[in-house]
């Protein structure tokens, strides 16, 4: 299996189902929001992923990918966009299947929310300094690289709009569960087929079926959660 074939086997069919079920119902505003979230996903995830490959936490064997931009093959950048599109497609499908899930709630940034967001940022910086001082064993590299980069942004969004996310929790939770599980299983197939691999010295060693590291599983749930939250945070109120 090549990385491109992975996209054709797992990303393309899912997109066809999600957007086929909702065809003709997407507004321009929703499309613009989706494009903004996809752009943010590429800009936010690319340096993180490039650094991980540079450090050898994971990589792609020769012959399974196309040309690289930086340390990543072009199919990896495509994955950022495609996963984002499919998660947003899942959110859109749920909101269309059950109108009672819509809240039409505005995003309101109050003083208390701003202070909470500032506190999250300060704690993020402090945690980074603490982690450097701790000099954790190499087997924690993937877990630290993942959680330190993604978890604070998820918490930051909750600090900004807790009321919105509480009301939309069923949508966020179900999309995260379904898409996170789907991508984890697809990834299990890809790792088993040798499309990409992990450095045994930089993961804790706990694996699903002896193949997929728990850190990799967590990645798909965290990124699905982050995309779902980001889209619902930014899309106009009449579409959520």
- Position 129 scores a pLDDT of 72
Question: In angstroms, rounded to a whole number, what is the distance separating the alpha carbons of residues 138 and 151?
Answer: 20
Q: What residue segments make up the domains of the chain, in order of their start?
A: 3-239
- Indicate if the pLDDT at residue 99 is higher than 70: yes
Burial 207-218 (b: 16+ CB within 10 A, else e): beeeebbbbbbb
CB 86 within 8 A of CB 224: no
What pLDDT shows up at residue 119?
Answer: 77
Q: How far apart are CA 78 and CA 4, in angstroms?
A: 9
Does pTM surpass 0.75?
A: yes
Tens digit of pLDDT for each residue in 53-62? 999 999 999 9
For residue 57, what is the DSSP state? S
pLDDT at position 202, please? 97
pLDDT-based confidence at residue 163 (cuts at 50, 70, 90): confident
- pLDDT tens per residue across span 128-147: 777 777 777 899 999 999 98
Residue 109, pLDDT > 70, answer no
> What mean pLDDT do residues 73-99 have?
97
pLDDT at 180 over 60: yes
User: What's the pLDDT at 231?
Assistant: 97
Give how far the C-alpha of residue 128 lies from the chain's centroid of Cα atoms, to the nearest Å: 21
Sign of the dihedral defined by the CA atoms of residues 198, 203, 206, 208, in that order = negative
Residue 118 has pLDDT above 90, yes or no: no
Q: For residue 2, what are the CA distances in angstroms to 54, 76, 111, 168, 196?
A: 21, 12, 50, 37, 9
Q: What percentage of the chain has pLDDT greater than the value 90?
A: 78
Res 125: pLDDT: 75
Q: Are 174 and 225 in contact (CB under 8 A)?
A: no
Q: Provide the pLDDT for residue 111.
A: 52
Residue % of the chain over a pLDDT of 70: 98
pLDDT tens digit sequence for 201-218:
999 999 999 999 999 999
Residue 199 contacts residue 133 (beta carbons within 8 Å): no
């Amino acid at each position: 299996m090549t990385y491109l074939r992975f996209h054709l086997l797992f990303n393309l069919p899912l997109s066809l189902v999600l957007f086929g079920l909702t065809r003709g119902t997407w507004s321009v505003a929703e499309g613009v929001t989706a494009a903004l979230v996809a752009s943010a996903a590429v800009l936010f995830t690319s340096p993180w992923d490039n650094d991980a490959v540079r450090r050898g936490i994971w990589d792609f064997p020769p012959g399974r990918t196309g040309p690289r931009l930086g340390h990543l093959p072009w199919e990896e950048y495509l994955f950022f966009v495609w996963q984002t599109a499919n998660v947003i497609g899942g959110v859109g499908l749920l909101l269309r299947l059950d109108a009672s899930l819509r809240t039409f709630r505005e995003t309101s940034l109050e003083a208390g929310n701003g202070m909470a967001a500032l506190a999250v940022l300060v704690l993020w910086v402090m945690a980074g300094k603490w982690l450097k001082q701790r000099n954790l064993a190499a087997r924690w590299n993937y877990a630290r690289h993942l959680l330190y980069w993604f978890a604070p942004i998820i918490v930051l969004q909750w600090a900004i709009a807790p009321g919105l996310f509480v009301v939309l929790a069923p949508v966020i939770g179900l999309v995260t569960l379904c898409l996170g599980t789907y991508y984890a299983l697809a990834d299990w197939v890809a790792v088993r087929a040798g499309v990409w691999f992990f450095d045994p010295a930089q993961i804790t060693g706990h694996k699903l079926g002896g193949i997929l590291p728990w850190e990799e599983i967590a990645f798909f749930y965290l990124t699905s959660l982050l995309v779902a939250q980001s889209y619902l945070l930014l899309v106009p109120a009449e579409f959520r």
